[in-house]
Amino acid sequence: MQNRDTFRRRVAGSAIGSFVEFYSFLVYGLTAPVLARHFFPENSSIALIATFAIFAVSFGFGPLGGAFFGYLGDRIGRVRVLGATVLLAGGATLGIGVLPTYQSIGIAAPIVLLLCRVAQGFAAGGEPTGAYSYVLESAPSDQRGRWVTFTVTFAWLGPTVGSILIVCLRTIGGEQAYTDWLWRVPFIIGGIVAVIGLWIRLKLEDSDEFEQATKQEMAPNPFSRVFRENRRAFGLVLLLGITNGAAAYTINGYIATYLSELAGLSATATLVSSAVVLLLFVIMLPCFGILTDRVGRRPVLLGGGAVLLLTAYPAFLLASTGTLVGAFAAQLLLGVPIAALQAGFYLASLELFPTAARYTGHAVSFNLGNNVVGGATPLVCTVLITSLNLSTAPALFLIAVVIVGLGATSFLPETRHVELRDSIHRRSGGTRGQEAGTRA
């Protein structure tokens, strides 16, 4: 096991890249109404839908990025790939911040905006799997939940910082200045933070777990190993990712637009409520991570899903009141169970795959479920509200995907004590047998 300073550098290097990724996605979500005004020819619900469509389309490139970076990550190492993903994500975020508007360059503006989002989506296809796998493979075996969720916490700290930054810019500069040009500042800052992340990552080295696994059994092609030996894990992560992604992007981006554009809450009040709840979220995440080390991944996943099933509809009823108290209560009702889902999902989904094929298997299945469906959540919710003329329509969508996740969790083996080198793919028997087989 590496010394404590080396481990801390690895966690820091992983965390800062995750921070940049989630920060950039949240900033885009919170800035969507402003982007709609600047990058499309008319200020209407169609412009907002188009802005969210770009948000959703970019996630379609997540599986491609996952396949590309996953293959490289399993073949040449986690560290080299993580340097590339943070550089690409940061460059695209900076690009949005300096992009000319529709009024300046016409139709080229939304096209280039789409290209920047595609680059972000492609990078995001490899970033979380690589960062969390790197920490998972570096952490003590009985503290994997604690340290992986600590890294996930930094990903969610990105939205928290983004929310607070936008509140400050709106308050200090005023609404008009923010709408005119200050909206660019958060994107530019995201690009600068990415450079710092790249500098840290260039000084890291791969974990002993990865090095020993690849020396022991380097798969000729990680794709063939995944689809030959890990089909069940692939399917479970895909289905669980649908719930995780839809839940994550509901609280991380869409709910803010819902509160300001549909419920009529002021932009400042919306951002204050979002920032406070996200701050509570980042406190809850490592607590649930520690809980997964004590009671297992599966119970935390089941508990989070069951609670969210009960709170989704009341949350959107409260959000639709257009009051600050209603907004805070709604986001809290969503945030607590979603934090539990996040903690259980990332641990279990990573531990389902063996080290030699983890990056490839997890990145592709995670992106197909979590990012494709999750990234479409704002668009789906906006279309549902418009077509059904029902303010609580997003709750119905969330309930549907939670049911999918609970169904998948019922087939999920417990992975808390699994050996990372082999994971569960060589275990025999049913779920109960696999769970028992992984316990030390």
Report pLDDT digits (tens) over 6-57.
888 888 889 988 888 878 877 887 788 888 888 887 666 677 777 877 877 7
- Across residues 253-273, what is the average pLDDT? 83
- Residue 228: predicted pLDDT: 81
Reported as a single tens digit per residue, the pLDDT across 81-104 is: 999 999 999 999 999 999 998 888
Domain 4-438, architecture per CATH = Up-down Bundle (1.20)
Task: Give the other-Cβ count within 10 Å of 169's Cβ.
Answer: 18
Per residue in 383-435, pLDDT tens? Answer: 888 888 888 999 999 999 999 999 999 999 999 988 888 776 554 333 333 44
pLDDT in tens, 338-394: 999 999 999 999 999 999 889 999 999 998 888 777 768 888 888 888 888 888 999
Q: Rounded mean pLDDT of the chain?
A: 86
Q: How far apart are CA 63 and CA 48, in angstroms?
A: 25
The answer, yes or no, to whether residue 439 has pLDDT greater than 70, is no
**Nearest-angstrom CA–CA distance, 40 and 29:** 16
CA distances from 176 to 27, 169, 173 (A): 18, 11, 8
Query: Do 336 and 430 touch, CB atoms closer than 8 A?
Result: no
pLDDT tens string 223-234 = 777 888 888 999
pLDDT digits (tens, 9 = 90+) for 134-160: 999 999 989 999 999 999 998 888 877
Global pTM reads: 0.85
* Confidence band, pLDDT 50/70/90 cuts, at residue 211: confident
Other C-beta atoms closer than 10 Å to the C-beta of 46 total 13
- 302: pLDDT strictly greater than 90: yes
Comparing CA positions, the residue from 336, 337, 348, 340 lying closest to residue 408 is: 348
The predicted-structure confidence for 27-37, as pLDDT tens digits, reads as follows 887 788 888 88
Name the residue ranges covered by the structural domains of the chain: 4-438
